[in-house]
Amino acid sequence: MKIEGRNAVLELLKTDKGVDKLLLQKGAEGSLRKIFALAREKNIRVQFVEERALAKESEGGRHQGVIAFVSEYEYADFSAVLAGERGRRFVIVCDGIEDVHNLGSILRVAECAGANGVVLPKNKSAQVTGAVIRISEGAANHLQVARVPGVNAAIDALKAEGFWVYGLEADGEDLYGCDLTGDLALVVGGEDGGLGALTRKKCDKVLSLPLAGRVNSLNASVALGIAAYEALRQRR
């Protein structure tokens, strides 16, 4: 797998994940100094190449002078997502997020808001790729992401573990009137259909954000960001 972009690669190098090699653009050594220094510190093989070589290797066209070659992304066990201090655990569940840009943004929000991890279904969902890691600005490298056979079984397991599970949908209760402390799981639905019918039924509550404009919905990652930071505010 290839990870592109300065922030994504820099965050990768701050972890213990294995890196096979780095391609750095000739002439850009100064702006890539931190990346080069970390790579040397970790004895990672570095090749300096012309920009056209990077452009040829790039999968997204946004390499910013650096591409890292790594093994495929290693997903966490579901149990790792449940780990943490009881009464303070916070998990994000994705129900049919198929757009890589949304998934990357969700992972970035989850990491920044202090979530313990993110749960993805194995089917009908975007997965963690090099593009998703770049879009997350490297946040995916610092986050436990678990894949499960089905979201509904994961929700059952979360509730059995003592989590309150709240779905995010346009016609729910007011988010700002809900207690978001304690062990919490926020479920965000897909870009087109929102939460699945059974998923919605399994949630303890369905919450929504007040909308004062003419558009009747928010992007999935934006809505999650607002909800996650309201949870963070209440839990501080």
Q: How confident is the model at residue 182 (pLDDT cuts 50, 70, 90)?
A: very high
Q: How confident is the model at residue 17 (pLDDT cuts 50, 70, 90)?
A: confident
Measured distance CA(203)–CA(163) in Å, rounded: 10
- What average pLDDT is seen over the chain? 92
CATH number of 2-70: 3.30.1330.30
Q: How confident is the model at residue 229 (pLDDT cuts 50, 70, 90)?
A: very high
Q: 37 versus 110: which is more confidently predicted?
A: 110
Which residues belong to CATH 3.40.1280.10 in the chain? Answer: 78-235
C-alpha closest to that of 196 among 95, 93, 92:
95
Helix (H) or strand (E) holding 8: helix 6-13
Give residue-wise pLDDT tens across range 99-148: 999 999 999 999 999 999 999 999 989 999 988 998 998 899 899 999 99
**What token pair was written down for 62?**
């946004």
- Which percentage of the chain shows pLDDT scores above 90? 69
Measured distance CA(149)–CA(151) in Å, rounded: 7
Q: Are 166 and 204 in contact (CB under 8 A)?
A: yes
What distance lies between CA 22 and its chain's CA centroid?
A: 23
Would you tell me how many other CB atoms lie within 10 Å of the CB of residue 234?
14
Give the pLDDT confidence score for residue 31 in this predicted structure. Answer: 74
Give the pLDDT confidence score for residue 216 in this predicted structure. Answer: 73
Answer yes or no: is pLDDT of 173 > 70: yes
Give residue-wise pLDDT tens across range 64-104: 999 999 888 889 999 999 998 999 999 999 999 999 999 99
Measured distance CA(226)–CA(128) in Å, rounded: 23
Q: What is the mean pLDDT of residues 192-202?
A: 91
Measured distance CA(163)–CA(89) in Å, rounded: 8
The DSSP code sequence of 69-138 is EEPPP-PBPHHHHH-S-TTS-EEEEEES---HHHHHHHHHHHHHTT-SEEEEESSSS----HHHHHHTTT
Q: Are 102 and 194 in contact (CB under 8 A)?
A: no
Is 3.40.1280.10 the CATH number for 78-235?
yes
Which residues belong to CATH 3.30.1330.30 in the chain? Answer: 2-70
Answer yes or no: is pLDDT of 29 > 70: no
